[in-house]
Amino acid sequence: MSSLDGTVLVTGGAGYIGSHTVRALREAGRDVVVYDSLELGRREAVIDAPLVIGNIADSDLVTATCNEHGVTQLVHFAAYKAVGESMKSPAKYWRNNVAGSVELYEACLAAGVHDVVFSSSCSVNGTPAAVPVSEDAPIHPESVYAESKAMVER
């Protein structure tokens, strides 16, 4: 079985970008399971995919979800994303965006999921020297949010 035969786990799949990705994957004929805390996402954004409500740091639930749904790939959108808030509440961003992602990846690895797409942010590059920003532009985060994304990339 190739990894394309299994299910795609989309974290943050009840948010704006995640829900559109879920729709595109479903239109492409892929099986999808959405994993979202619904803290910022909306249940009604999840059209025809199963929804598991949980935190990405809940390793047991992530692993169980992967096993139950035959997950072979992960698309990870679940993150806090407000730059200003990140500067006022850095620990909140570090716990969710970095530590939560580590727990998510470890749980997925334990379930045999090795194919991952991580949604980062152009903010990891800070104020770019040139636009458009290329993939080889230096990483220079200027906020806690951007640093949290850069850390997960690293």
Nearest to 10 by CA among 27, 28, 30, 29: 30
pLDDT band at 135 (very low <50, low <70, confident <90, very high): confident
Q: What is the pLDDT of residues 71-82, one digit of tens each?
A: 999 999 999 999
16 is catalytic: no
- Report, as an integer, the average pLDDT of 45-56: 95
- 101 token code pair: 């992602």
Residue 1 has pLDDT above 70, yes or no: no
Q: What 8-state DSSP symbol labels residue 97? A: I
∠ Cα 119 9 40 (to 5°): 60
- Report, as an integer, the average pLDDT of 31-45: 96
The H-assigned helical ranges of 70-142 are 83-88, 90-93, 101-110
Query: Structure pTM?
Result: 0.93
Strand partners, 52: 35
The parent domain of residue 91 ranges over 3-153
CATH number of the domain where residue 11 is located: 3.40.50.720
Residue 58 has pLDDT above 70, yes or no: yes
Cβ neighbours, 10 Å, residue 57: 18
**Domain count across the chain:** 1
**What DSSP line would sit under 49-77, residue for residue?**
S-EEE--TT-HHHHHHHHHHHTEEEEEE-
What's residue 128's pLDDT? 87
- 31 burial via Cβ count (<10 Å: 0-12, 13-18, 19+): middle
Cα separation, 45 vs 93, whole angstroms: 24
Burial 42-51 (b: 16+ CB within 10 A, else e): eeebbeebeb
Q: List the catalytic residue out of 35, 80, 93, 145.
A: 145
Q: What is the pLDDT of residues 87-97, one digit of tens each?
A: 999 999 999 99
